[in-house]
């Protein structure tokens, strides 16, 4: 006797597709190719199951979960992802988190209840190395396609894309070393976050390579919150230790570092150089315009959407993390160290690339 409800594994084996694809066809989702849908229907016919009834429902619903929006890079990334999803025929459902507000797990429950076809997570709990991965495993067990952006969770069976944070920190250090700075500090976020760990690793390796580590690269690093006030507090500690240049893990932290320098009566960049990270909107209009390492927002969004849409169509995308190269954008917040600073080196001409070779100057 044939069961009333099709066994996904049997239908998948007969059609030569995944069980997730069979599930999408049975649920009437319009994210598989007509050829694949036809193959599943033929398999249902051969196995004696009824084809699913036609449904009138909104198709291509995709959840987009992003962290708080106080850092301008996240709204920029969300906007880019939403635009590309719309071009792909999907309807994005934006879920933004805030302290004390709706949690990621609560958003996941809501999105699953709305029968979404996929979810993009931007700098979510997967970026916290101390957080459990069960939420993502359960989604994958349901056959729901997901993509993780920023941070890295290799144990999660999903496509993942990030900016190369190690290369970003190296770019910043090499730029400052080329200007002649010998006392460089890093203001970074909490160590439990994967991006913080990667920036720290890139920073420390760059210090060692440039001969700037002294008795230890770790003592050049201060961790605090990813915020203006976090950057201000971290920078105050680094400046008190005599640093003449600061690498910051986000643009808001860099703005806080500039404020900390001014709290001490120091000028930027005449007395202290500051480098940010993200190249958030309006950083070119900061006072002074902020030198920063640009996250390739357009590339991150393009890759995330392309991978999700492919997975939604039943195609398996690589599980190897894709790293996108950042770009150093030189503006007015960096310059040579002040004269008379002990240990300052003469500046070298040109900009320094991620590989360490001099490159043409590029001020924007």
Both tokens of residue 133? 């991965």
The superfamily CATH assigns to domain 8-47 is lambda repressor-like DNA-binding domains (1.10.260.40)
Read off the pTM. Answer: 0.78
pLDDT of residue 2: 45
The total of other beta-carbon atoms located within 10 Å of residue 338's CB is: 15
Q: Which of 201, 198, 193, 200 is nearest to 165 (CA)?
A: 198
Residues of the chain within CATH 1.10.260.40 domain(s) are 8-47
Low-confidence ranges of the chain (pLDDT < 70): 1-6, 29-31, 53-59, 215-217, 340-364
| Residue 26: predicted pLDDT | 83
Residue 60's pLDDT is 85
Burial class (CB in 10 A: 0-12, 13-18, 19+), 44: buried
User: What span, in angstroms and rounded, lies between the C-alpha atoms of 290 and 198?
Assistant: 22
Give ranges for CATH 3.40.50.2300 in the chain.
Answer: 61-163+297-324, 168-290+326-359
Q: Which of 123, 175, 164 is nearest to 326 (CA)?
A: 164
Q: What are the CA-CA distances from residue 343 to residues 18, 158, 333 (Å)?
A: 62, 48, 21
User: Distance between CA atoms of 313 and 118, rounded to whole angstroms?
Assistant: 11
Could you tell me the fold of the domain covering 61-163+297-324? Rossmann fold (3.40.50)
* pLDDT, position 356: 42
CA distances from residue 189 to 17, 133, 219, 299 in whole angstroms, order as listed: 43, 21, 15, 24
Q: What pLDDT sits at residue 56? A: 43
CA distance 312 to 309: 5
Cα separation, 251 vs 227, in Å, equals: 9
Pick the CATH number of 168-290+326-359 from 3.20.20.70, 3.40.50.2300, 3.30.200.20, 1.20.20.10: 3.40.50.2300
pLDDT at 344: 52
Quick one: pLDDT at residue 10? 87
Give the per-residue pLDDT at 352: 42
């Amino acid at each position: 006797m044939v069961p009333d409800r099709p066994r996904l594994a049997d239908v998948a084996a007969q059609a030569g597709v995944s069980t997730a694809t069979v599930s999408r066809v049975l649920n009437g989702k319009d994210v598989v190719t007509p050829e694949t849908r036809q193959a599943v229907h033929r398999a249902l016919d051969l196995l004696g199951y009824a084809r699913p009834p036609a449904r009138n429902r909104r198709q291509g619903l995709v959840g987009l979960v992003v962290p708080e929006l106080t850092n301008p890079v996240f709204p920029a990334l969300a906007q880019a992802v939403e635009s590309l999803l719309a071009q792909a025929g999907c309807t994005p459902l934006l879920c933004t988190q805030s302290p004390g507000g709706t949690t990621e797990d609560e958003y996941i429950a809501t999105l699953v209840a709305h029968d979404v076809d996929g979810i993009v997570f931007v700098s979510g709990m997967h970026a916290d190395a101390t957080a459990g991965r069960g939420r993502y495993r359960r989604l994958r067990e349901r056959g729901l396609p997901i993509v993780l952006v920023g941070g890295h969770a290799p144990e999660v069976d999903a496509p993942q894309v990030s900016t190369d944070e190690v290369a970003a920190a190296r770019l910043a250090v090499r730029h400052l070393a080329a200007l002649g700075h010998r006392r460089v500090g890093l203001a970074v976020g909490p160590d439990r976050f994967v991006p913080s760990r990667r920036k720290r690793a890139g920073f420390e390796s760059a210090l060692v390579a440039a001969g700037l580590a002294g008795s230890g690269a770790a003592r050049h690093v201060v961790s605090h919150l990813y915020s203006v006030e976090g950057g201000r507090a971290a920078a105050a500690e680094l400046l008190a230790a005599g640093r003449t240049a600061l690498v910051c893990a986000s643009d808001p932290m860099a703005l806080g570092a500039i404020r900390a320098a001014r709290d001490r009566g120091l000028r930027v960049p005449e007395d202290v150089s500051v480098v940010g990270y993200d190249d958030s909107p309006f950083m070119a209009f900061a006072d002074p315009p902020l030198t920063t390492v640009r996250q390739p927002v357009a590339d991150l969004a393009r890759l995330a959407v392309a991978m999700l849409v492919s997975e939604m169509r039943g195609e398996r995308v690589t599980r190897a993390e894709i790293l996108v190269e950042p770009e150093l954008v030189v503006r007015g917040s960096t310059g040579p160290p002040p004269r008379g600073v002990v240990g300052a080196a003469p500046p070298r001409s040109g900009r320094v690339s991620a590989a360490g070779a001099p490159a043409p100057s590029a001020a924007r």
